[in-house]
Amino acid sequence: MSWFKKAYNISQVEPNSYYSVVSPIRFYEWRYTGVIPKGTKCSKRLPPSDIIAYNDEKLVVSIIANSDQLKPQEGNFILAEDIRSPVVLKIGQLQNPREILQRYGNLLDEFRRKFEDFKTTASTQEYLISRHDNPQLYRISSQDNDEVKIENFGSIRDISKNITELRKILSQQSQQKKGRAYEIADLRKVENIYTYIGNVGIPIDPTRFQLLIRKSNIKPQTARYISWRDCYFELNPEAKEMDNRINHFQSFSWAKAALSANHHIS
């Protein structure tokens, strides 16, 4: 089939056919259930080329709907109700279900590995810095298999002010003859913390944070017991996003059926 004939066939739709842009996962859901859900966006026109050209995760499909099943929206339409319709792939590279399941399995393995690494680190390092846009200092203690005690000492931005003040005090004290060696040692530890908070990739002895908290009299702003999983999410927003992706995949009927037949993946 020539490219012109193929393009012509893509652009021709039946009077009650409409284009819609979907992910491969949702495409298989529509095929599996035969149901296109209420709220689905559709159009008589092909989507803009940039949506198709720069997004490998999207497919253009056609569905069939009657006019009384549609509501106008911003020049296009949305389904006013769930409908039953065939789904025809028009544009896009569709992975087979096994490939999609394997991607899910890889994502799940990555999540589990990172979760176990986090638990190991939290069990040995005691003080951790969260990976938020506004990082927080946490202390992890009183651990068991089910839950953990976490204390939040506030943002690194605020703690930096305490460090700056403590550096001045220790620097002045280190100039005194009496007790000078101890104060110099403490000053070096505080300098280490100051360097660390600007680069979380640098390892640090947790006792240095103990020194900072003791010397600056910093108190935890909150303290509570939560599950290991919730602790992981609180300190790592990206982990929560990954978990949401996993849950999103598991919410599809075809995925549930496939996973039940592939127990080694779930």
Q: What is the full per-residue pLDDT of the chain (266 aa) written as tens digits?
A: 444 445 545 555 577 899 999 999 999 999 999 999 999 999 998 887 665 555 556 899 999 999 999 999 988 999 999 999 999 999 888 889 999 999 999 999 999 999 999 999 888 888 888 888 888 889 998 778 889 999 999 887 787 776 666 666 666 666 665 556 666 666 676 666 666 666 655 555 555 677 777 777 788 999 999 999 999 999 999 999 999 999 999 999 999 998 887 654 44
Who's near 103: CB < 8 A, 6+ residues apart?
none
Q: Which two tokens stand for residue 239?
A: 């982990």
Question: DSSP H helical segments within the chain, as ranges?
Answer: 3-11, 24-33, 49-53, 97-125, 156-174, 180-196, 207-216, 228-235, 237-250, 253-260
Residues 199-228 pLDDT 10s: 655 555 555 677 777 777 788 999 999 999
Would you state the pLDDT for residue 184?
Answer: 65
Domains of the chain: 3-94 (3.20.170), 126-235 (no CATH)
- What is the C-alpha separation between 50 and 150, in angstroms, rounded? 46
Amino acid, single-letter form, for residue 74: E
* Distance from C-alpha of 263 to C-alpha of 260, rounded to nearest angstrom: 6
pLDDT of residue 102: 92
pLDDT tens for 86-108 read 999 998 888 899 999 999 999 99
How much is the pTM?
0.75
Structure tokens belonging to residue 141: 């203690």
Q: Render 201-242 in DSSP notation, one character per residue.
A: TS---THHHHHHHHHHT---SEEEEEEHHHHHHHH-HHHHHH
- Report pLDDT digits (tens) over 241-257: 999 999 999 999 999 99
Cα separation, 231 vs 259, in Å, equals: 28
Cβ atoms 253, 29 nearer than 8 A: yes
Q: What is the CA radius of gyration of the chain?
A: 28
Q: How far is the C-alpha of 241 from the C-alpha of 226, rounded, in Å?
A: 19
H or E, element range at 38: none
Amino acid 53: pLDDT: 53
Contacts of 108 (CB under 8 A, 6+ apart): 246, 265, 266
CB atoms within 10 A of CB 150: 23
